[in-house]
Structure 1
Amino acid sequence: MDVTRRIRTALMTIVAFGIAAAILSPLVQMALLSVKSREQVSQAHSPVLPSDPRTFEYKGESHDVYRVPIDGEIRELALVEKGRTESGFIDPDNPGAGLITWEGSWRNLEPSWEIAPKWSNYTDVWGLIDFPQLLTNTIALAVISTIGTVLSCTLVAYGFARFRFPGRGALFTLLIATIFLPATVTLIPTYTVYAHIGWVGTWLPLLLPTFFANAYNVFLIRQYIMTIPREVDEAASLDGAGPLRILVSVIVPQAWPVITAVTLFNFVYTWNDFLVPLIYLSGSPELQPLQVGLAAFSGLHATNPAYVQAATMMTIAIPVLLFAFFQRTFVRGIMSTGMDK
């Protein structure tokens, strides 16, 4: 039985590693491509790692190094004399040994590679894309939007979870029904309204709606608050605490996992949002976030995919680090939402 359990555990571990590798492989490829030069990207038969063809200086000239099969083994030799049926090579480790003649076509030989990452891609992109300004705009939009979402959704969820008032069920159903309303349906009407009041070209259309809650986050927080016993509210009321005091001192400390989850949800969503900033900030490049700036940068440097991938890696770095840091709290908030403690 113990052997069967170990085999099962080993198989589950292998499957988990396989799934993780499949999920992370695009990110790894993106990271490797971001440190390649334009020549490395276009080089035929180049390895996955950022590498340059190995060369060797011989008698003042640079010669390419190839992997040459000699006497049943593969040796890395520098090609100094090219021929159709035989060529001359020099051993880079022992150039004094003289010329080594090899019979065959040197064009069929595999070149030798040496790892040569181009870390300067990141510094180049930092200046070309005006990354500091775009990063500042993105952080400001994400932080203000997250604050507005967390505050408004927590207040609305607390009201639906703890207060009884006429039409509460119908109002909550109507709120949840808005989840099924596609955002594209309201895009033109809301743009028309914002254009009439002169908000296009500013951050107001992106930030102001976040202070009026949204159905998805309200639902998450409400379901979590409902798992908190009402006895703690009543105990706080007997001590003279009002509704707002109960929310701040009793509910929020216990609902911190779901609040953290909502915070991460909204922060990442705002960080990755492209369509809405593009619509309202297309004429104001000084206010645009990273996603809009990255799209314009990709169009200008489409012939150099390494620059595009370097900019992308810099853009996703902060959300990935945040998720890695708050992963345990995030998962706990999601798993416990709507479940009895």
Structure 2
Amino acid sequence: MPLGYGVVSALKDKDSVSDPNSSILPVAAEVFEYDGEEYDVYAVPMPDGEVRELALVEKSRESSVFIDPADPDAGPIEWDGRWRSLEPVTGFAPQWGNFVEAWNTLDFPRMFGWTLFYALTTMVGSVVSSALVAYGFARFRFPFRGALFALLLATILLPPAVTLVPKYAVFLQMGWVGTYLPLIVPHFFANAFNVFLLRQYFLTIPKELEEAARIDGAGPIRTFLRVIVPQSIPALTAVSLFHFFYAWNDFFEPMLYLGGNRDLAPIGVGLSYFSGLYSTEPHLVMAATLLALALPLTIFFAAQRVFVRGIVISGVDK
């Protein structure tokens, strides 16, 4: 329902979207062009009880003149009554120009480029590093493995606000503030949530597959790449999508570390600027939001089959 409301609002004009009594659908008053001018069309009750849709060409308090849009050659039609009491005729009129205006105002190509760079780079770093760490916790035995894994999971409980100031101070001393480095580099050192998810999935893969690869002479890295990774496509896809959507919608950290540099702003920060400038025009804000949602929704539906696919393990008869 919120998405449907956003679509409908993005297709309305400014007057309709701000009118609480307007129709849910994007509608506009119908007009008829006559003698080079446009006239509003009203539902006019006739003496015989019929209601006709006529264009008002001459307004008067007690008597007005109309033209029938279906037969303008028939000439003017005089109607006795107060025209202000008539209901205007409306029709479905989506304002597709809202999307064009939002696209041109926000410079979407530049923001899409930076957002894709940020999302794809951090997605690769997060998935690769988390998969390697998860494989180590799932398959290798080393001292204090349980304690280290518990310590890793404990970082999930640490609120981001606690580390915000120390992280910013460190990145400021390193000269990284104002660039994408503070946003990208930390994701190459694994993530506790991703590690937990991938480790649990790796534990479901039979060890017989790895033993067979070891007999064939494969080492740990080759076994991971040739055995574990192909069997873990659903989990890796889920982790990739989770991180991609997180990075695509990320707002606070880019706003903080990029220092308000609009030339480097991703889509989330750009939408906040746009919303502040056009707060009185919600139809344009909704149009810009839908443009920003287009790519993530397309990716999600394209990868949905892999994302929801169950675990399929073949080749082992236990």
One fold, TM greater than 0.5?
Answer: yes
Per-residue CA shift, 1:118-172, capped at 9, x if unaligned? 3333333223212111111000000000000110010011011111111111111
Pairing of 1:168-183 with structure 2 (within 5 A): 168-183=145-160
The SS at the match of 2:94 is coil
1:63 is matched with which residue? 39
Per-residue CA shift, 1:87-130, capped at 9, x if unaligned? 44332112344444545443232211233333333333223212
1:108 aligned partner, one-letter code: S
The SS at the match of 1:170 is helix
2:181 is matched with which residue? 204
Q: Cα distance 1:335–1:237, how it changes in 2: closer, same or farther (>3 A)?
A: closer
1:332 aligned partner, one-letter code: R
Match 1:51 to one of 27, 40, 52: 27
Match 1:111 to one of 88, 107, 113: 88
Q: Does residue 269 in structure 1 map to residue 246 in structure 2?
A: yes
Pairing of 1:23-172 with structure 2 (within 5 A): 25-42=1-18, 45-70=21-46, 71-172=48-149
1:110 aligned partner, one-letter code: E
The SS at the match of 2:156 is helix
2:224 is matched with which residue? 247
Between the aligned partners of 2:312 and 2:89, the Cα distance in structure 1 is 51
Q: Give 1:177 shift.
A: 1.6
Q: Does residue 230 in structure 1 map to residue 210 in structure 2?
A: no
Match 1:312 to one of 289, 295, 302: 289
Q: Is the 8 A contact 1:202 1:281 kept in 2?
A: yes
2:147 aligned partner, one-letter code: A
The SS at the match of 1:207 is helix
Q: Cα distance 1:59–1:125, how it changes in 2: closer, same or farther (>3 A)?
A: closer
Overall identity of the aligned pairs, in %:
54
TM-score, structure 2 as length reference:
0.90
Does 183-192 or 260-269 show the bigger shift? 183-192
The SS at the match of 1:228 is coil
Q: Give 1:310 shift.
A: 1.7
Between the aligned partners of 2:310 and 2:51, the Cα distance in structure 1 is 57
Does 278-287 or 139-148 show the bigger shift? 278-287
Any gaps of 5 or more consecutive residues in structure 1? 1-24
Between the aligned partners of 2:161 and 2:296, the Cα distance in structure 1 is 26
Between the aligned partners of 1:100 and 1:78, the Cα distance in structure 2 is 10
Q: Is the 8 A contact 2:44 2:86 kept in 1?
A: yes
Between the aligned partners of 1:108 and 1:259, the Cα distance in structure 2 is 64
1:137 aligned partner, one-letter code: W
Q: Cα distance 1:333–1:214, how it changes in 2: closer, same or farther (>3 A)?
A: farther
Q: Give 1:271 shift.
A: 0.3
1:134 aligned partner, one-letter code: M
Does 98-107 or 304-313 show the bigger shift? 98-107
Between the aligned partners of 1:136 and 1:29, the Cα distance in structure 2 is 28
Per-residue CA shift, 1:249-273, capped at 9, x if unaligned? 0000001100000000000000000
Q: Does residue 322 in structure 1 map to residue 299 in structure 2?
A: yes
Q: Cα distance 1:74–1:170, how it changes in 2: closer, same or farther (>3 A)?
A: farther
Between the aligned partners of 1:96 and 1:331, the Cα distance in structure 2 is 63
Does 111-120 or 316-325 show the bigger shift? 111-120
Q: Cα distance 1:314–1:60, how it changes in 2: closer, same or farther (>3 A)?
A: closer
1:268 aligned partner, one-letter code: F
Between the aligned partners of 1:87 and 1:165, the Cα distance in structure 2 is 93
More helix by share: 1
Q: Is the 8 A contact 2:112 2:266 kept in 1?
A: yes
The SS at the match of 1:56 is strand
Q: Is the 8 A contact 2:177 2:259 kept in 1?
A: no
Between the aligned partners of 1:46 and 1:92, the Cα distance in structure 2 is 25
TM-score, structure 1 as length reference:
0.84
2:131 aligned partner, one-letter code: T
